[in-house]
Chains A and B, each alone.
Chain A
Amino acid sequence: MKAPLSWILEHVDVPAGTTTEHLTDRLTLTGLKLEAVVSPGRDITGPLVIGRVLTMEPEPQKNGKTINWCTVDVGDANGTGEPQGIVCGAHNFAPGDLVATVLPGGVLPGGFEIGARKTYGHLSAGMICSARELGLGDDHDGIIVLPADAGQPGDDVRPVLGLDEETIEFEINPDRAYALSIRGIAREVLVSVDGASNFRDPADRDTPAPNADGHPVVVEDADGCPVFVARKVTGFDPTAATPDHIVQRITAAGMRPISLAVDVTNYVMLETGRPIHGYDADKVQGAIVVRRARDGERLTTLDGTDRALDPADLVVTDDSGIIGLGGVMGGETTEMSGTTTSILVEAAHWDAVSMYRTGRRHKITSEAGKRNERGVDPTICEAAADRVVELLVEHGGGTADSGVTVVGTPPAMPVIEVAGDLAARVSGMPITEERSIDCLRAVGCEVSGSGTLTVTPPPWRPDLTDPQDLTEEVIRLVGYDHVPSILPTPPSGRGLTHSQRLRRRIGRTLAGDGFVEVVTFPFVGTSDLDDLGLPADDARRDLLRLSNPLSAEAPFMTTTLLPGVLRTAGKNVGHGNVDLAIFETGAVTLPRHSGPAAILPVDRRPTDDEFAALDAALPAQPLHLALVAAGDAVSGGWWGAARPVTWSDAIEEVRSVAAALGLDVTASSADLAPWHPGRCAELSVDGEVVGHAGEVHPRVCQAFGLPKRTVAAEVDLDLLIERAVHLRPAPSFSSYPVAKEDVALVVDASVPAADVEAALREGAGELLESIRLFDVYTGDQVGEGKKSLAYALRFRAPDRTLKEGEAAAARDAAVALAVERTGAVQRA
């Protein structure tokens, strides 16, 4: 809400010397937060004074233009008292007129510095200003001619033009709808600023008594429209201009001046908070009927939009049909125009919820709707309508019709019982019951009783419905700045949960291994999944769609973190970060298609079943980890050659993470997008698949702008964390000597090394301490389609030194089982 200061102070007095800063500080502390103080003249500096045009010589120029060589009396403002010579291109003035004159040294909006300069053969010392040059509007047709009584030559012109008028912009919270008006803000000044007094309520006026002579109105839905007031002005001059002060004020308040009739309704809305609608009375046919819309009805609203109406929309109708969307926007057929001479003024109170729904349904946001849906004082319809009539008559030369239609009565305010000490109990401040009562009365409540107070809020405060609402009123007036600072003493906590600690451990492990964490948005489109090369039936294509995505390209919640990390990796490579390792952890969204999450009642706790059903209706959201690496894992240098990232790095990093949780990962060959079909591992823990890792498919690398041989992994961290070892037993190890045996086995190239190792391990028996594959050889010496696997085996007994030949025997048993299981041949 933007409120010109002079307008506020028209309705409340503050002590002399109260600065704008003090005023806004106080209002901010009681809940009307200052956003900005602006004045139209804030960009103007230097001498800007009233000048009287003394002489004016038209001088035609070669370029076809005629300029005026003027002398202007600027009093003593130029230091000499001599007339100022100024060249002016405008012609809408005459000698004797008072004009706004900026003298050399002045600066106009846009940093336009004024000096004395030679032009058209004269030394022009200053400028006679137009409205646009002063930042007062777009009117560039001529210079501003001031009223004859504007002042003396040499006087500052700023006050005359309202250039020094300060407008205060407040942030208005949704519960303080009353402050969307000068009336409400002035009232806040009264209760917030020390010494403020003499509130003059713009809605407090004598209004003519309702009679039967007014325009006939029937309200069929009194819940939707409890009050409907109609007044009429006839003989209105549609060409009458809006007075400057109204234009300035509604402009300052952020509304666009349109015509006197429209401007006046807006002016009264800003002043009282009550939205008003004006109809061209000559276009209204017969009685006005307020009702809900019917199926299939349509209305073209003032903004030219043809709208299909909903049976829940409140509409205003006449004999011709629907003429307005009640409280939200009028219709085109009865719109006031440049020929309107008869105006029907509607001031109606509308049901706030209905206003909110209609506004949302039709996506209409308007100044009227904003107020109606937050709640307006229902008791001021007659006053507001009367004020509009008064202004129309005063400035538009019309006649107020004697008919006054008033249908309905304002709904009664609720009566709230509140404990007299509640404010003290809630705030922790020693607020007495008396103080509470004073504060409540200050904001307009009627209060009676003691111990338990019986409170009726004022009609402009529909937000006050609960004891706690009243408490806030008391505490904000006592002052939030007086709330003491006391630390509560919680019971002993249990620290982080096991899962929370493990997630930190996972992040530290990855960072320790050289991976950098990234955070990406979880939004994807089908093109992202196409880029991953996911087949049409891939489960990851079952996506949760957003109704209102920011981008039509990415309307889904992702089922995999890979598009985000691959995209981010691609951007990094584009930025020259070519040796790259990144990871992301985050929830993915896996739809369960399990039906709606119920809207439960709020006046009681949901049952455990109801609560469980809510969770069951949500998609599964397991925590995933995705990582990508590209370029060199170890860079080259004086120590030797670089080691490029390979498929195995992706698997190893998952192993590193799993090891941090005390888990072993088994890798077996798989074929899953987006990985290279020959270089993709399915990763399992205790026989359950937890994710995949390997080299990214070359086509996918290309799609994401990544170099070939980029590697990636994605795992379900929830599965890992579930299985993580809580308590690891302390190890014991043998201090007897170790016996080492090496074996080399030749197997078919297709035999997984893991199978060979498993056979060796099993065959070696319990004396085997460790086994390590230290070489893989393919080539002539082992023959086509074969590979040689060389293992180092270590044997040790926990309780004795191994006897001669024991280790060799165990090795032979290991080899024998490997031969049997994998067709291996021991290499000599």
Chain B
Amino acid sequence: MSGPNTDYDPVEVTPLKAEQVDEMREAALAAIAAAADLDALKQVRIDHTGDRSPLALANREIGALPPQARKDAGQRIGQTRGAVNQALAARQVVLEAEHEERMLVEETVDVSLPTTRARRGGRHPLTLQSELIADLFVAMGYEVAEGPVVEAEWLNFDALNLGPDHPARSMQDTFWTEPAENHVVLRTQTSPVQARTMLTRKPPIYVVCPGRVFRTDEYDATHSPMFHQVEGLVVDEGITMAHLKGTLDHFASQLFGDGITTRFRPSYFPFTEPSAEVDVLCFVCRNVDPASCRTCRGEGWIEWGGCGVVNPRVLTACGVDPSVYSGFAFGMGIDRSFMFRHNLEDLRPLFEGDVRFSSSFGSEI
């Protein structure tokens, strides 16, 4: 290495000659352009800008020059190094892009390969149907009331104006428990929940009660000893059948579609008076040319449930003053609603537990 040139003495420093530096630049730029990949470029970087590169070595000689020449050479070397580094960076970008592109091509997979490794779960459609119905009523301001399935006879019958010798008791084929003198039954309807609600809350009462109920029906395509009902109960001042009709029309349109309304036919239930059967307009044919409709079997209307104005005797037994309050109640089969909403003709798949059935409904219906 040359020593410092403290006096201005134009010593010849070969590596710093302009031609030499230009050569270095040309060589570096050529090598950069020729680098085919990132590895080659890395080598080019070492060769042309590394500590042992001609440019680095030349740079060290600058100090040997007299001040005026030092400035010129410094400028020359600096510019050259700048140009080389710029070219390196530019080449780096190009090569990286090329590399990435190639890598992405190489990493191509067959996205049509199967991907399912774990089982899919699902909730039972009757659970989902119950929740959907509950949600419709909660949206109206109702609350969801519940009660036990193994129920006191008094709550299942007597409190609902079904005295011990009421002929309607034989309408509902009841599962009784032993010993008989305990007066405990499997509830035949969700109505005891209504009684419980009136016994534990003060009007105004707006509740809906979905739940399991039991009847001694042999199990076949249209009967099951266990099924699901939803009942609604409203007790407030000035409640009329018109409110009942309005509520069920709204319920029907929410569950089955806009414009689906209900029809009342006189009927008999001990806990309501007047009582009505509720038919819902067939949501498939809408009673337009129903003859060929499979959903309503040509009726135009589908039997949906029962309803009525709460019998004042029931209000009395449940501690509600019938001279102040009136109410309505309705009940329908959740299973049945599900069946015609989803075009299921045989109810047994609901209780057979084949996972292919429930899993097809996922977590929401």
Where the two chains meet, the residues of A that have a C-beta atom closer than 8 Å to any C-beta of B are 28-31, 33, 173-176, 353, 356-357, 360, 373-374, 425-429, 466, 468-469, 471-472, 475-476, 480-481, 483-497, 500, 504, 507-508, 510-523, 544-550, 557, 568, 571-572, 575, 577, 579-582, 586-587, 589, 595-606, 611, 614-615, 617-619, 621, 633-635, 637-639
Contact = CB atoms under 8 A, between A and B. Distances in A.
B30 to A, nearest CB: 48
B75 interface: no
B154 A490 contact: no
B113 interface: yes
B241 interface: yes
B67 to A, nearest CB: 51
Interface centre among B141, B154, B167, B170, by most chain A C-beta atoms within 10 angstroms, is: B167
Nearest to B328: A488
Nearest to A574: B354
Contacts of B318: 605
A520 B351 contact: yes
Nearest to A29: B265
A485 B309 contact: no
Contact of A480 (B164, B170, B266, B353): B266
Contacts of A495: 138, 143
A485 B177 contact: no
28 contacts: A29-B265, A31-B265, A33-B265, A427-B241, A428-B243, A468-B311, A469-B273, A476-B266, A480-B276, A481-B264, A484-B242, A484-B246, A485-B245, A493-B138, A508-B123, A514-B120, A514-B121, A518-B355, A522-B149, A544-B150, A545-B177, A546-B177, A550-B225, A605-B199, A606-B199, A618-B151, A633-B119, A634-B117
Contacts of A619: 150, 184
B158 A599 contact: yes
A497 B209 CA distance: 13
Contacts of B126: 519
A517 B246 contact: no
Given A425-B240, A468-B309, 6 more contacts: A480-B274, A488-B236, A493-B143, A493-B206, A546-B175, A575-B354
A472 B309 CA distance: 10
A390 B191 CA distance: 50
Contacts of B141: 489-493
Contact of A511 (B121, B264, B268): B121
B313 A487 contact: no
B291 to A, nearest CB: 13
B181 A596 contact: yes
B131 interface: yes
Contact of B362 (A466, A485, A511, A618): A511
A481 B242 CA distance: 11
Given A483-B245, A519-B351, A614-B155, A589 B150 contact: yes
B218 interface: yes
Contacts of B164: 599
Nearest to B312: A468
Nearest to B170: A360
B359 A486 contact: no
A512 B309 contact: no
Contacts of A487: 140, 243, 246-247, 250
Nearest to A572: B355
A617 B164 CA distance: 19
B249 to A, nearest CB: 5
Contacts of B245: 483-486
A489 B237 CA distance: 11
Contacts of A472: 266, 273-275
Contacts of B362: 511
A521 B186 CA distance: 12
B265 A480 contact: yes
B122 to A, nearest CB: 5
Interface in B236-281: 236, 239-247, 249-250, 261, 263-268, 273-277
Contacts of A618: 148, 150-152, 184
Given A174-B168, A497-B144, A597-B154, A637 B117 contact: yes
A627 to B, nearest CB: 11
Contacts of A475: 241, 274
B241 A483 contact: yes
Contacts of B317: 601-605
Given A587-B148, A602-B158, A515 B121 contact: yes
Nearest to B321: A605
A468 B323 CA distance: 12
A581 B119 contact: yes
A603 B316 contact: yes
What is the size category of the interface that chain B forms with chain A? Answer: 35 or more
Contacts of A516: 119-122, 355, 358-359
Nearest to B160: A602
Contacts of A490: 140-142, 204, 206, 234, 236
Nearest to B126: A519
Most A CB contacts (10 A, CB to CB) among B121, B141, B226 go to: B121
Contacts of B80: none
Q: Which of A488, A493, A587 has the most CB of B within 10 A?
A: A488
A61 to B, nearest CB: 49
Contacts of A547: 175-178, 180
Nearest to A611: B199
- Closest 4 A/B residue pairs (Cβ): A428-B242, A605-B319, A428-B240, A31-B266
Nearest to A373: B167
Contact of B119 (A476, A568, A579, A604): A579
B46 to A, nearest CB: 35
A617 B152 contact: yes
Which of B161, B250, B317: most chain A Cβ within 10 A? Answer: B317
Given A468-B309, A604-B316, A174 B204 contact: no
A360 to B, nearest CB: 7
A376 to B, nearest CB: 13
B363 A508 contact: yes
B226 A522 contact: yes
B257 to A, nearest CB: 17
A429 B239 CA distance: 12
A608 to B, nearest CB: 9
A621 B212 CA distance: 13
**Residue picked from B114, B158, B273, most chain A C-beta under 10 Å:** B273
A618 B152 CA distance: 7
A607 B264 CA distance: 37
Contact of B355 (A176, A580, A617): A580
A549 B268 CA distance: 28
Contacts of A356: 165, 167, 170
A142 to B, nearest CB: 40
B121 A513 contact: yes
Nearest to B135: A496
B119 A486 contact: no
Contacts of A511: 121-123, 362-363
B358 A548 contact: no
A514 B268 contact: no
A546 B178 contact: yes
A595 B152 CA distance: 12
Nearest to B320: A605
A596 B183 contact: yes
B177 A597 contact: no
A195 to B, nearest CB: 21
Contact of B274 (A29, A476, A488, A633): A476
Contacts of B225: 521, 523, 550
Nearest to A610: B154
Nearest to A629: B119
A117 B325 CA distance: 77
Given A472-B275, A486-B243, A614 B154 contact: yes
B182 interface: yes
B154 A598 contact: yes
A557 to B, nearest CB: 6
Contacts of B168: 174
Contacts of A549: 175
A176 B178 contact: no
Nearest to A509: B121
